[in-house]
Amino acid sequence: MAKKHRQKPANLLAQNKKARHDYNIGDTYEAGLALTGTEIKSVRAGKMNLKDGFARIRNGEAWLENVHISPYKEGNVFNVDPLRNRKLLLHKQEIRRLDEATAGKGLTIVPLRVYLKHGYAKVLLGIASGKHNYDKRETLKRRDQDREIARAIKERY
């Protein structure tokens, strides 16, 4: 039998793979993204980098900062700054919860992935606390052990 490969969902546009390695992720929230016309075209083409991005609550509004969206190739004068701050579309209650959660020491809001839902770009945000190096090593060790256990069970049955 052929090996089954994990494929990313068809609507997944960008993913922050380092986030789960560098942070412990708590609650997650889905937020809409306010984008210009050329930005959404570039996002649909997969020209987005979430690696160093984070979200911040300012004046009762949520903003996505330090996320790079490459300029659209055919966009000419309508292209905007690739690193500009983009507004996140959330309910007032969700913004308040995020603000209260990050008011605590050592917590931040990290974008985990960007995907399309009913034609709109959505961001999955996670409330994150930083991991220490020994936590990262422990996670890698646990993952290797789980892989070995799964391999042994597969060979046995």
User: Residue 84: what pLDDT?
Assistant: 85
- Token pair listed for 21: 């390695």
pLDDT at residue number 10? 65
- How many Cβ atoms sit within 10 Å of the Cβ of residue 73? 12
What is the per-residue pLDDT across 104-157, written as a single tens digit (0 to 9) for each? 788 889 999 999 888 888 999 999 888 777 777 888 888 899 999 999 988 887
In angstroms, rounded to a whole number, what is the distance separating the alpha carbons of residues 79 and 96?
32
Rg (CA), the chain: 18
> When comparing pLDDT for 43 and 1, which is higher?
43
Q: How would you class 88 by CB atoms within 10 Å of its CB: exposed for 0-12, middle for 13-18, buried for 19 or more?
A: buried
Three-state secondary-structure class, residue 82: coil
Q: What is the pLDDT of residue 21?
A: 78
Predicted confidence at residue 4, as pLDDT, reads 45
- In this structure, the strands spanning 120-130 and 68-69 are unpaired
CA atoms within 13 A on the CB side of 30: 6
Distance CA(10)–CA(15), nearest Å, equals 13
Say what the pTM is. 0.77
Q: Which pLDDT score is estimated for 2?
A: 46
Look at residue 9 in the predicted model and tell me its pLDDT. 61
C-alpha distances (whole Å) from 98 to each of 15, 62, 75, 86 are: 21, 9, 34, 17
156 — phi, psi (to 5°)?
-70, -40
Q: Is the pLDDT of residue 1 over 50?
A: no
Query: Does residue 5 register a pLDDT over 50?
Result: no
Select from 24, 49, 44, 23 the least CA-distant residue to 113: 49
pLDDT in tens, 62-112: 999 998 888 888 777 767 777 888 899 999 999 999 898 888 788 889 999
Domains of the chain: 12-131 (2.40.280.10)
